[in-house]
Structure 1
């Protein structure tokens, strides 16, 4: 919001929310039309062969490892805020990694599924605390205590290309992880009900994101606050990182042990592979979190490198694969066809432009001291 302004930010939240909802609907329809497709990689193979499958699978793993890394950064910020930076940030992040990796090592998703409710309540309560708290103060807590100050609230902002792309990718990725919905379809009593669940979920996410972000931006502007709500939200941050890591590890696990007895049996190979993947990918998440220790940049990088091709470009391709004859149909069908064709270069533009923007912002952050160094012990809350 602070980069795009209230109007630009609100339009971005609504626009990406609606587009990601629609592309998720395309995923669900494609999966129901091709029942042998159980993941986004399977869909990529259906339309482009094994090379496309490997690319999509790699992007899927990278995306959820980066998401897990952003969760580790969030937990380290929370622990720093609650303890007033009582220990080195790297140690807090390492502790978070151990907890996240250990929790993600529970094999069956349904065994940790109940954590999603605890995580949802935790995060939602934490955000509500912040939203309510900021409206009761005369000025933001991070602003100068006395004298005049610039709130930094703008209806329309004029960011640089790099800052604008980082902000856009950050908003985009908030609702772009719809590829994780696909395994759920197989477990539904009636897969045709996927749209109902999708619309309910995405409506709540988009409405909450829009309302909460506008309220916080209106009352805090450019001044970030030290979230006293971290005590409430810490559970949600851990759970979200755990789920992302579990999804990535499970995909790799199935790929490695597919067509072997070790996939289902409790053999030594089974457990060594599973724990090696959860803790190995957890270690990778930790390294990425400490190399790019700013939450927003990790999130934006996830959106540009991974979810732009997976949730935008590939989805245009999937739709065209099932509706290729619309190219020669009525005027309306041709217009719809070209809309989906446009999604392919749109995703590629976000991939290139967003990655460029994140790299530029990271370089600038290192240059101006916002990021001290990789694996720095410095406080990452900006409050001490």
Structure 2
């Protein structure tokens, strides 16, 4: 299967025009219609090499999953949870390969929305673009919750949680306003090391305790550890959506490809990222679940007691901030390119360029803040994002992309026919997870409000369990 295909539509052959900017002459067909040109006059976005891209991918994927998977293990059991981590990780890696191949073989695709446009025209592009924005605005919202939880833990809830969330919002919006992925590259290194070390501290700490920190410290108690669990549909689908979304943010990789020096090196960065992420998810979550059982905290950094919680959040706070910064940057970059594409403002330091860019970052971060305060439970926000947004973006749409490119397999050899019909499973699975997962998460949110587990919107209550 070639990664470079002949595209036939006028739209795909159309070349973006720029009123200004010296663009290098290129012979490589992959360079012919890149959104960002290699330019000597203006802003050169094409500065990311593949090792840097792999670290950006790592930071996009790693933080939220490692904080939410241990609690999902309780619903599925150790065996079911481990198989779910491996299965979803493998599937998300494969669909990321499909997206990268499609992006590199269809001229002018900057985002997953552009790919949907190839399939379904303007309507498909706009619907998918809206879904993409919602997905990463919600992800940034989960990052705001994570940062506010960390600040509450470090300060022992010294002030209203809404204020911590507001401070987190300002910091995240400010850092996300660096225009190029290369410029925030140093943050990704610091963020990845930060969250990895924080989780490692918690993993070691939980194994040194006689019983989980959240469990009764005297008398008998039930750990809640099961090799095989038998969850209800509601609990099982929410846990599955939580594990799925932990490695499903691969649509965020596509805008990064547009800023790579060599977009064809994308798969190198992808394989390094997904191998490390899924190995870490599997090891860390199984250890935490084995020692904490049903008493695991959400986010999991609070699972080893108040002292270790402060240490873990102190070390991991940078990582939590950087995760939200990347989610916001990806969403803002999509909207920025969508507004200024095919104008000279895209790569020139004009007033329109800067006003548009800062409006995208601070405007979208404000929406993330509002959503984070409306759904202030970390795991529910993560699972809802997975069901509503990433099931279509990371499963159903990549399946449709493959079927579009390889439609001739339907009448090909026996093996090609088998591959063609097997890929119809992806849109069907995406639809099932979207509908079933959304139902399960919404019902759990309703139950949590009814039980008083969730306070009201914009609540000042401590979300770290420190008081």
| TM interval, short-chain normalised | over 0.9
Identify the residue that residue 217 of structure 1 maps to in structure 2.
289
Residues 1:27 and 2:110 aligned together? no
After superposition, where does 1:68-83 map in structure 2 within 5 Å? 68-83=140-155
Question: Taking CA–CA contacts closer than 8 Å with sequence separation of 6 or more, which of the two structures ends up with the larger relative contact order?
Answer: 1
Match of 1:122 among 194, 216, 227: 194
Shift of 1:273: 2.1
- Structure 1 runs, 4 residues or longer, greater than 6 Å off: none
Q: Which moved more, 1:188-197 or 1:62-71?
A: 188-197
1:265-276 pair list within 5 angstroms: 265-276=348-359
Write out per-residue CA displacement over residues 259-314 of structure 1, whole angstroms, 9 at most, x where no aligned residue.
33433333333322222221111110001101000111111111111111011111
Q: CA deviation at 1:189?
A: 4.7
Pairing partner for 1:279 from 362, 368, 374:
362
> Equivalents in 2 of 1:68, 1:81: separation in Å?
20
8 Å contact 2:152–2:466 — kept in the other structure? no
Higher helix share: 1
CA RMSD of aligned residues (A): 1.4
Superposition map of 1:1-384 within 5 A: 1-224=73-296, 225=303, 226=305, 227-228=309-310, 229-384=312-467
Q: Secondary structure at the residue paired with 2:219?
A: coil
Summarize the Cα distance change of 1:262–1:34 in structure 2 as closer, same or farther, 3 Å threshold: closer
Counterpart-to-counterpart distance in 1, 2:345 and 2:415: 52
Distance, in Å, in 2 between the alignment partners of 1:82 and 1:187 is: 37
Report the Cα distance in structure 2 between the residues aligned to 1:115 and 1:243, rounded to whole angstroms: 9
What is the CA–CA distance in structure 1 between the aligned matches of 2:411 and 2:81, rounded to whole Å?
38
CA distance in 2, matches of 1:69, 1:6: 29
Kept after mapping to 1: 8 A contact 2:157/2:466? no
Aligned residues: 384
Q: Name whichever of 106-115 and 4-13 sits farther off.
A: 106-115
Displacement of 1:187 after TM fit?
A: 4.2
Closer, same or farther: CA 268–196 of 1 in aligned 2, 3 Å: closer
1 CA distance for matches of 2:261 and 2:170? 36
Cα distance, 1:251 vs structure 2: 1.0
Shift of 1:105: 1.3
Q: Distance in 1 between matches of 2:235 and 2:293?
A: 16
Does structure 1 conserve the Cα–Cα contact (< 8 Å) formed by 2:181 and 2:256? no
Rounded to whole Å, the distance in 1 between the matches of 2:104 and 2:350 is 34
SS of 2:109's equivalent?
Answer: coil
Note the C-alpha offset of 1:202: 0.5
Q: Distance in 2 between matches of 1:208 and 1:26?
A: 24
Query: 2:442 and 2:287 mapped to 1: Cα distance?
Result: 29
Change (3 A) 1:58 1:118: same
Query: Aligned partners of 1:184, 1:103: CA distance in 2, in Å?
Result: 17
Measured after TM superposition, the shift of residue 247 of structure 1 is 1.1
1: distance between equivalents of 2:78 and 2:445? 24
| Residue 190 of structure 1, CA deviation | 4.3
Q: Judge conservation of contact 2:255–2:333 (CA < 8 Å) in 1.
A: no
Task: Give the match's secondary structure for 2:424.
Answer: helix
Partner of 1:259, secondary structure, is: coil
Aligned equivalents of 1:65, 1:51: Cα separation in 2? 21
**Secondary structure, counterpart of 2:182 in structure 1:** helix
Cα deviation 1:64-91 (Å, max 9, x = unaligned): 1001000000001111111111111111
Secondary structure of 2:216 counterpart: coil
C-alpha separation between the residues in 1 aligned to 2:406 and 2:393? Answer: 19
Q: What is the CA-CA distance between 1:348 and the residue it aligns to?
A: 0.9
